[in-house]
Structure 1
């Protein structure tokens, strides 16, 4: 309770300001289009995106990207992102409990049992994904989002090089002072509250939100509680802009775990007996912050410097042992952007260092304690060239270098410390987009992506560093078309893709609590995507056809 109070303290000033505002309602009508900012809203004629790391329009994007905003968020109760994301073809978000979720894009991430992997996620361009590839975008309250961009497949220099693609979250930017309050109550004593406020002056924009979600859950040993505070600020001058984002989260979730087939068919609400007996649960406290400074060097040249950091403290009580782990990371991103009528380009670097500490104990007896330090460096370049008014070319690439250092802090089983430097990985991308007319465009792209092994996968069962484990790598080839009809009231998109993956990373379970990683051959993912969105009666029809072939390792 004390930690929860400390988490709420920073929001007191925001709430007092919100209480003084004249508007206090559950929903706010949007401003007329002429007053809206094109980089934060969806309008019928153009959808502005950040998929290039250069603001652009959806119909000129040479790849497969979907945008959710506005009324798209009204399809769910706001307790989970699954309902919203699952309206998009090729994306499947599975939710076992509020604390156990998995996002799969075109089959990527399906081999990770309890979380999201192979997919990168960002909040206001701050990496949510940890250095081992784990993402948890569902921890952010859906009511605190103004837009979601989903890029399918290896996105190369666009947003890292996640094999499955990326999920990019953006907080809302509202132009008038307002306050909002919502209260929802549902089955299984589910209670959700959210209070937010916006304060604007001539050169300053402040927004913040405090939200709380709790539920008893459908199953035994399934109670959940999460309190989060998210705030953004923006200061604008004629030659520069400064943006900041801060997210604080405190959550606690009981773990019902999985059931056997017979038990599930006869008593689906039951928890696994061993987890229920000890009241298994996990507690998480997280903080994430980012600061971005943009300097307008000229009318065509922009420089941006971003600093970001994350911290988390987690504890999980399990039948076989207890896990305590802490993560601390920091990163810096520099980007130089040049905009011209025919060409624009971006040059940049990313550097992230992360320290992950974990220990296992049982009956107050220490079993294991380690610290792993990961350093990632990447340099990226993007060139967009408009060959004609209708045909545009995008060329991009990233150089990636990753190294690990494991420090064994438990002397009882000998020193198992070690290092691992991975070779430099080059991730190229090529895209073409052709605008046939006002309502029709075609695109084609090819891109490379990779996924790094998790901490469990980098270690052998005895705890030593695995010298043979390799990153999972793949290429995606795709072509598609976008169609707008009846004054943009009906949107359609059709695409086909082919993905070749090598050095598959597979987690092998040695015992109930010991995992290791191995490279297991290759797979081929082929699919057809169909999306039809009608704004007349507001329905969206997603569709997928995804055959899959497997080649076992030898």
Structure 2
């Protein structure tokens, strides 16, 4: 209650400041300070105020105000999301408490780039691999609420490459602590109906910890050729990554020597490296002013190698698919029906001391038939009803027969995911919405297999239903935007990745969980002056949640009623952007992450922490065609000692401590220069 009172006090203070700024800013009486936002996340282009459900949007300007290397700093601008970030290449995204039990990656959400699925065939999403300069817009659907994007149980992260109506180019060079260097260049070419864009970037860092070197080169390009009745688009993404793995450490090292890597990973200089390629072509046909068809054809390829203390993993994926969406629009309703098919072949082999211990090949087919109707019986109402039917098949071929043939197949039953949403907007200043939606998550290959290597045919997909209600409010001629929502998610057949030994994992269905929460967001134009002190903007959010085991027994021990580990009960984030003069910007990020349990028994707690970052930039013109921006920043100003990522339910081997902690970066600096043409 104390925190809620503080939030209310802050909001009241902001309203007072806003009223003051309105009185002194006579030159801007007719200005609409915050532009209305168009969203596409529910497969319909409409004002965010009229969307029948919760969707968060980050514009390109909001994405670019961080150091450009840490994806977590960007995601935390959205309420309801927490990104565990152990290193640049080790992370886990949690949305509304879903996904906290995945050991070292994200596999309860689905990610898309320009409507092309980029989630791998084993369910792993790594949107953080995409350089932030390659993202012009981000839309996030939270929880099992989208029937049109594969019904991801945790939600969807939908990314779009930048689009510009003007030709131009930009280059960046940046240097920071731990010998971190970043170089990037981007450009946009326009010739009548042709619009081409691309960016290339390279990041190299020695890392704060031992065995922590990181190198990533990425190239992203997109383009569009428009004609009267159709348009043709393409998207291409290439990533080459090589990153050492310091892994997690026990409490003693975390407190006494956080720079240290785990001893077994350091001894072998463990690392992972991979190359990824995703390419897609989109054909949009305008059959009439009412009928539109959008067809995506895409291909995906990945090759990866990981050197580990217990064995070495060599794996890769090749595949592709199609996604088609037919839409109808008139003044009173919209209808959409679509189909998505993804075919991937996932192959992996393991060796230990140059001796092969297994080799497998798995084919996966995922079919998704989806449909959605939006009905507007009056201008104030927008009612959506839709659903998706999903079908998933696995076929495993054992290519290492020394321990017997463990080939098999698994065809999961049809899964139907309905969704209902209602939005009521009595004016352009206020809207109320409510929705209920179903979602699911399939087990990953590691979870699918039994310890002996056979397919577990009893393992069921994790499924859940989300109920949410909220409102959106615009005040003071849209100088203030407020959003608030409450939600409840009920999950069944909880998928738990169970660690049987240091190198053997398996999946089990372990009961039920419940996720309850409250999310609050405020965007505020505090000052809007043409001279000093200039403009002052605030983007702040707060998340409070309770995530519990409802029915969970493991090794004959009941955990009913316990909190789920790895999920902060409270998260508060504020972004304060001050522009005292036209050419000078000062951006401050403040974040508080509450305590979180580290094990199912709730016997260990990771203390909450507070971090603050600041970035300043100064822009000036060299000539009419050249502009330069100089920038510098400090992250973790207070030099807080904290762990931004946990290994939930870490297991101790031998006499070693259980390794729960990934130490966070201490105070560190960066500076750079951007050139705009």
TM-score for the superposition, normalised by structure 2: 0.75
**Alpha-carbon contact 2:33-2:478 (below 8 Å) kept:** no
Q: Alignment partner for residue 225 of structure 1, among 198, 215, 236?
A: 215
Unaligned runs of 5+ in 2: 1-31, 527-535, 554-677
1:550 matched to 2:549? The reply is yes
Deviations 1:197-234, CA, capped at 9 Å, x for gaps: 00001110000111001111100000000001111111
1:230-265: CA deviations, max 9, x gaps?
A: 111111100110000000110100000111111111
Give matches, 1:405-484, under 5 Å.
405-484=395-474
- Alignment partner, residue 100 of structure 1: 90
Partner secondary structure for residue 462 of structure 1:
coil
1:461 Cα offset (Å): 0.3
- The residue that corresponds to 2:183 in the other structure is 193
CA deviation digits over 1:415-473, x for unaligned, max 9?
00001010000000000000021211000000000000000111100000101000000
Equivalent of residue 171 in structure 2, options 176, 181, 187: 181
What is the aligned length? 513
Deviating 4+ runs (over 6 angstroms): none
What is the deviation of 1:549? 2.3
Distance 1:57 1:437 in 2: 13
Equivalent-residue separation in structure 2 for 1:278 and 1:48 (angstroms): 50
Tell me: higher relative CO, structure 1 or 2? Use CA pairs within 8 A at least 6 residues apart.
2
**Contact kept in structure 2, 1:75 and 1:83, CA below 8 Å:** no
Determine which of 267, 283, 300 is the counterpart of 1:277: 267
Q: Deviations over 1:303-324 (max 9, x none)?
A: 1211011100000001111000
Per-residue deviation at 1:548? Answer: 2.0
1:63 to 42, 53, 65: 53
Matches within 5 A, 1:163-182: 163-182=153-172
Q: Does 1:383 align with 2:373?
A: yes
CA distance in structure 2 between the partners assigned to 1:77 and 1:407 by the alignment:
45
Partner Cα separation in structure 1 for residue 232 and residue 242 of structure 2: 34
Indicate if the aligned counterparts of 2:148 and 2:371 stay in contact, CA closer than 8 A.
no
Q: Does the aligned pair in 2 maintain the 1:525–1:548 contact within 8 Å?
A: yes
CA distance in 2, matches of 1:135, 1:150: 14
CA contact (8 A) 1:62 1:444 kept: yes
1:359 is matched with 349
Q: Distance in 2 between matches of 1:70 and 1:353?
A: 32
Deviations, residues 63-83 of structure 1 (Å, cap 9, x unaligned) = 111110133123311112111
Q: In 1, Cα distance between the equivalents of 2:94 and 2:155?
A: 10
Q: Deviations over 1:335-354 (max 9, x none)?
A: 11101000111011111111
Q: Secondary structure at the match of 2:53?
A: coil
Equivalent of 1:286 in 276, 285, 290: 276
Measure, in 1, the Cα distance between the counterparts of 2:501 and 2:337.
Answer: 46
Counterpart of 1:495 in structure 2 is: 485
CA distance in 1, matches of 2:39, 2:373: 17
Alignment CA distance shift 1:553-1:82 (3 Å): closer
| 8 A contact 2:438–2:466 mirrored in 1 | yes
Query: 1:44/1:533 Cα in 2 relative to 1: closer, same or farther (>3 Å)?
Result: closer
Tell me the secondary structure at the aligned position of residue 148 of structure 2. Answer: coil
- 1:156 to partner: Cα distance: 3.1
How far off its partner does 1:43 sit? 8.6
- Residues 387-421 of structure 1 show CA distances to partners (whole Å, capped at 9, x for unaligned) of 11101100010000001000000010110000101
For the 8 Å contact 1:129–1:136, the answer to whether it is kept is yes
**In 2, Cα distance between the equivalents of 1:429 and 1:258?**
40
**Secondary structure at 2:467 match in 1:** strand
- Partner of 1:62, secondary structure, is coil
Q: Which residue of 1 aligns with 2:538?
A: 539
Comparing 515-524 with 85-94, greater Cα deviation is found at 85-94
The residue that corresponds to 2:623 in the other structure is none
Provide structure 1 residue ranges, at least 5 long, that are not aligned to the other structure.
1-41
Report which of the two structures shows the higher radius of gyration computed on alpha carbons.
Answer: 2
Partner Cα distance (2:412, 2:244) in 1: 38
Question: Distance between the aligned counterparts of 1:285 and 1:145, measured in 2?
Answer: 20
Matched, 1:317 2:307: yes
